[in-house]
């Protein structure tokens, strides 16, 4: 159903759900109850890529596909060696500095470039990173971790970013084992991809790809338009690689769906996981698939490839999962626990209610006022409160949108 969310027998109001008298103290002001906030059967708009951008190895922004990688990994390459060492090169890992707050800068500057090129404003109610929506989508089944987001209205659009100082202050300190396991994921991406299509790569480039230092500084991001219920969104998210090729936009004819080659249908998400050796391992993996599904689904990525590794960090095999089939796989699994297993339909119903609530509860007329969207661990409420923080939008974007031509 479209329109105003309905919360299991209690109507939604601007200040949050209506709470019967005598229970008012249980609900904070401007709050959304996670356990009951749902819009049933929200219409999902098919994600469509509108542009893309790249960060290079020096973290310079480019409005192109220069950092796009291509999947290339054979099962024989893995099994013939008895497993690929994902710890190789850990001592020279070139890690991006996660303490630098980049806000929405890459996305916003890319939108400026797009709008200069097309002469049209990018429409949408909410503009944000894919990771922000993933947090919200998974929230009904991932209540152990708290977070804070910053939100601001500008030019009739709501911009949402993560509150990095809060994240840094509350995240657990990583030990050496955790850092190494994180590295295994980046190493898997390196050995599973090549920098150009296979036909354009030399044999040396292919065979030596695992010998270079691993870096997570360079990134390729897709920017898509999508929607859920009555809320239209522009979101950007990192894409690990392309399966075969990325179609040239000039070859697409937008007014003929039969001739449109959707770039999103060629993308792939890459993940690593421990080799499944017990029922407990299987159950843990199926819970992990929730986030894999959420990330891929929101951006319109059709498949995920999971590399299974040993506890010592040796890649043993890999397996392909179709995004649209992941919820069904989990639902039918004999390892599923009805009290803990996630439900994709229910998660989407919550996200639809959450986005509609944010769009409505944060005053649209108060442009440049930053609001905090907060979730406390193991609570049942998402809350919104006003702050005195300065706006976080990139000044070049603000200046561009303030020009008369974009109104």
Within-domain flag for 96 = yes
Query: How confident is residue 237, by pLDDT bands cut at 50, 70 and 90?
Result: very high
Between CA 35 and CA 140 the distance in angstroms is 7
- Written as six digits, the tokens of 126 are 């909410």
* Res 175: pLDDT: 87
Query: Is there a contact between 354 and 382 (Cβ–Cβ < 8 Å)?
Result: yes
What's the Cα-to-Cα distance from 214 to each of 186, 208, 217, rounded to whole Å? 7, 12, 9
Half-sphere exposure of 270 (CA within 13 A, CB side): 24
Per the model's pLDDT, the better-predicted residue between 15 and 311 turns out to be 311
CA angle (367 as vertex; 362, 368 as ends), nearest 5: 105
- Is residue 9 predicted with pLDDT exceeding 50? no
Residue bearing tokens 């950092």:
67
* Of 254, 287, 253, the residue nearest 273 (C-alpha): 287
Q: Report CA 391 to chain centroid distance, whole Å.
A: 23
* Of 264, 265, 282, the residue nearest 330 (C-alpha): 282
Within-domain flag for 1 = no
Per the model's pLDDT, the better-predicted residue between 253 and 388 turns out to be 388
Q: What is the mean pLDDT of residues 42-56?
A: 95
- Written as six digits, the tokens of 31 are 């709050």
- pLDDT by residue (tens digit) across 309-337? 999 999 999 999 999 999 999 988 877 66
Which stretch of DSSP H or E encloses residue 263? none
Range of the structural domain that residue 38 is part of: 6-406
- pLDDT by residue (tens digit) across 70-118? 999 999 888 877 799 999 999 999 999 999 999 999 999 999 999 999 9
Between CA 268 and CA 254 the distance in angstroms is 23
Within-domain flag for 43 = yes
Residue 98 DSSP SS3: coil
Q: Which residues contact 129 (CB under 8 A, 6 or more apart)?
A: 104, 107, 161, 162, 235, 236, 237
- pLDDT by residue (tens digit) across 173-218? 888 999 999 999 999 999 999 999 988 998 888 888 888 999 999 9
**Total-model pTM:** 0.90
Domain count, the chain: 1
Report residue 109: phi and psi, to 5°: -65, -30
Report residue 118: phi and psi, to 5°: -90, -20
* Res 15: pLDDT: 36
Query: How confident is residue 20, by pLDDT bands cut at 50, 70 and 90?
Result: very low
Query: Is there a contact between 10 and 18 (Cβ–Cβ < 8 Å)?
Result: yes
* Res 332: pLDDT: 85
Tally of helices (H runs) and strands (E runs) in the chain: 10, 20
Which stretch of DSSP H or E encloses residue 157? strand 157-162
Residue 119 DSSP SS3: coil
CA angle (212 as vertex; 211, 213 as ends), nearest 5: 120
């Amino acid at each position: 159903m479209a329109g105003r969310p309905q919360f299991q027998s209690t109507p939604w109001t601007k200040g949050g759900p209506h709470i019967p008298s005598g229970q008012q103290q249980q609900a904070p002001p401007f709050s959304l109850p996670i356990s009951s906030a749902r819009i049933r059967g929200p219409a999902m708009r098919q994600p469509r890529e509108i542009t893309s951008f790249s960060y290079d190895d020096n973290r310079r922004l480019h409005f192109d596909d220069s950092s796009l990688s291509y999947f290339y990994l054979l099962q024989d390459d893995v099994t013939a060696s008895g497993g690929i060492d994902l710890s190789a090169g850990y001592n020279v890992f070139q890690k991006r500095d996660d303490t630098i707050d980049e806000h929405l800068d890459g996305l916003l500057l890319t939108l400026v470039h797009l709008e200069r090129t097309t002469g049209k404003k990018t429409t949408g109610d909410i503009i944000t990173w894919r990771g922000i929506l993933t947090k919200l989508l998974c929230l009904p089944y991932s209540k152990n971790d708290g977070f804070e987001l910053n939100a601001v209205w500008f030019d009739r659009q709501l911009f949402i970013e993560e509150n990095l100082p809060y994240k840094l202050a509350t995240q657990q300190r990583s030990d050496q084992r955790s850092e190494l396991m994180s590295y295994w994921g980046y190493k898997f991406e390196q050995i599973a991809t090549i920098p150009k299509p296979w036909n354009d790569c030399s044999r040396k480039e292919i065979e030596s790809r695992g010998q270079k230092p691993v870096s997570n500084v360079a990134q390729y991001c897709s920017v898509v338009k999508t929607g859920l219920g009555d809320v239209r969104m522009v979101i950007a998210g990192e894409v690990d690689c392309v399966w075969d090729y990325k179609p040239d936009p000039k070859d697409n004819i937008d007014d003929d769906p039969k001739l449109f080659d959707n770039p999103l249908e060629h993308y792939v998400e890459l993940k690593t996981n421990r080799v499944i050796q017990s029922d407990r391992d299987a159950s843990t993996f199926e819970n992990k698939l929730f986030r894999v599904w959420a990330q891929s689904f929101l951006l319109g990525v059709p498949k995920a490839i999971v590399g299974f590794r040993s506890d010592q960090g040796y890649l043993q095999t890999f397996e392909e999962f179709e995004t649209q089939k992941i919820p069904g796989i989990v639902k039918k699994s004999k390892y599923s626990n009805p009290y803990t297993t996630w439900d994709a339909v229910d998660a989407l119903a919550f996200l639809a209610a959450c986005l509609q609530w944010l769009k409505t509860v944060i005053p649209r007329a108060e442009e440049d006022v930053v609001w905090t969207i907060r979730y406390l661990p193991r609570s049942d409420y998402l809350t919104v409160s006003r702050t005195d923080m300065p706006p976080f939008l990139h000044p070049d974007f603000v200046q561009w949108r303030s020009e008369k031509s974009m109104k």
